[in-house]
A and B are shown apart, each in its own frame.
Chain A
Amino acid sequence: MERQGSVWNLRPGLLERARGPAWTAPCPRLSVVSVLRPAALEKLVSQDARGQVGGLPTAARGKRFQLWALGCVCTERHLAKRLKSNSFYPFMQQQPKVFVLEYYLDTLWKGSLLFAVCLLLVVFGVVSEVHRQATWGFPACGMVAGLWLMVSSLPRRRLVLNHTRGIYHFSIQGRTVCQGPLHLVYVRLALSSDAYGRSFFQLVLCGHKLEPLVLVQLSERYEQMEFLGRHIARKLDINYFDHQATSYRHVVRHWPLGAAFSPGIVLRRDRSYSRPGRSLTELDV
C-alpha cells in the first residue's frame, strides 16, 4: 500500500482523504511483479504534460484516425507515449474546460477491406460455382455487409465535454445524438478472464448512448491500467470506475442529480462537494 501512496500524491487531498480507511482492502494483483512500475509510467506520462490548446481545424484532421492504431496495437506503453505528447488524449483541449474528440469508427477500414476483397472475389469469379451450386452469393453478401459497414462509419463522430456548462454532447455529422450531464461519461476498467483464471483488462471510455471507445485493448497489468485510467479521468475531469461494480477504487467526481440527498451517500467536507449544488442550479435539464 505504501507504493500506492507515492503514486496518488499527484492529487493531494481529495483522493488520499477519501481513500483513507478503504485502502485496507487489498488489491488482488498487488503481489505480481510488473515490468513497468506505475511510478515509471507516471514519469513517462508527465514529462511533456501539456495539453494542446486550440487550433482544432488544422491539428485535428490527422487526429481523427488516432483511435484506429490504438485498436490494433495497444499496450499501455503505447497509450502512455500518446499521453506524453497530448495530455488530454484522446481529446483536444479547445478552451480551458472544453474537450473535443472527433473520430471515425474503426469499422470504416474493416468494412472497406471486406467490400474490396469480396468485390475481387465476385469480379474474378473465384468461388462462383462449387459442385453445381451457385456460391457467388457468399461474396455478394460480403460485399453488401462491407458496404453497409463502410457507409455507416462514414459520418464523423464528435464528442464534446463541456465543464463550463456541465454537459457532454455527442453528435454524428453535425446531428445531435444525445446531450446530458457529465456524470454519464466515464472511464472504465473492464475485466475478462480466460479458462485458466487469468484476468485481462481493457480500458474503455464510454457513457450513456455513446459508442464505447477502447483505449487499451488487452493487458494483464492491473496497476498500470488503473494508473492510466485514473490519469485520463483526472485530466478530463470525469468519473473513473473499477472493473467491479462495488469497489473502493472508483473515483467519482460528478454525482447524479439528487444523489447528494440520498441517505446512503456520506457527504464529504471538500471543495469538490460544492459541485452537485452548483450543477443543480446551473443545469437546465
Chain B
Amino acid sequence: MRWRDRIVVFFFPQGLMLTVAALMLFFIHLSVFVSDVYNFCVTHHYDRMSFHYTVILMFTQVIGICWAAMGSLYAEMTDDKFLRCSALIILILNGITFFSRLSLEFLAIQYREENH
C-alpha cells in the first residue's frame, strides 16, 4: 500500500496505532518528569510539582506500557525489522519512564502537601 493510502486509513493498522499512542504518551510523561525534576532539584518550588496528578499519571504510565507491549506484539507478527525494533524501543522507553516516575515519587514523598 502506498503511504498516502496508509495515512487515509490511518486508524486501520492496529499495531501501528498502539505504538504511536504509546510514543505520544511517552513524550507527555517525559515532559512532566523533566518539569518535576527541574522543580524538585533545581528551583526547589515543590508546590509546582505534579503531586495532584499522581493517580492519573500512574494510570497512564501503566496504560502506556500495555499499549506499547500490544503494539510490539503486533509488530513481531510482521516481518518489518524497522517496525519491530522501534516498537521494542518504545516499550523499553515507557518502562524506563514508569520506574523513573516511581523513584521520583518515592524521593519526593516527604515534600507532599500536609493535610491534618
B56-A152 in contact (CB<8A): no
B12-A172 in contact (CB<8A): yes
Q: Is A175 an interface residue (CB 8 A)?
A: yes
User: Which of A133, A148, A173, A175 sits near B55, CB closer than 8 Å?
Assistant: A133
Chain B: CB-nearest residue to A178:
B1
Chain B residues, Cβ within 8 Å of A130:
55
Chain A: CB-nearest residue to B1:
A177
A175-B56 in contact (CB<8A): no
Interface size on B, residues (CB 8 A): 17
Closest CB in chain B relative to A132 CB, distance in Å: 7
B9-A155 in contact (CB<8A): yes
Q: Is A141 an interface residue (CB 8 A)?
A: yes
A82-136 residues at the B interface, CB under 8 angstroms: 130, 132-135
A175-B60 in contact (CB<8A): no
- How many A-B contacts if CB must be within 8 Å? 41
Q: What is the size category of the interface that chain A forms with chain B?
A: 10 to 19
B11-A148 in contact (CB<8A): yes
A 149-190 binary contact with B (CB < 8 Å = 1; else 0): 001100100000000000000001101110000000000000
B12-A137 in contact (CB<8A): no
Chain B residues, Cβ within 8 Å of A141:
56, 59-60, 63
A134-B5 in contact (CB<8A): no
Q: Complex Cα distance A175/B54, Å?
A: 43
B33-72 residues at the A interface, CB under 8 angstroms: 52-56, 59-60, 63
Chain A: CB-nearest residue to B53:
A134
Q: Complex Cα distance A37/B31, Å?
A: 63
Closest CB in chain B relative to A170 CB, distance in Å: 10
Q: Is B8 an interface residue (CB 8 A)?
A: yes
Chain A residues, Cβ within 8 Å of B12:
152, 172, 177
User: Which of B9, B63, B113 sits near A132, CB closer than 8 Å?
Assistant: B113
Q: Is B115 an interface residue (CB 8 A)?
A: yes
A-B contact pairs, 26 of them (CB 8 A): A132-B52, A133-B53, A133-B55, A134-B53, A134-B56, A137-B53, A137-B56, A137-B59, A137-B60, A138-B56, A141-B56, A141-B59, A148-B11, A151-B11, A152-B11, A152-B17, A172-B9, A172-B12, A173-B8, A173-B9, A175-B5, A175-B8, A175-B9, A176-B5, A177-B1, A177-B9
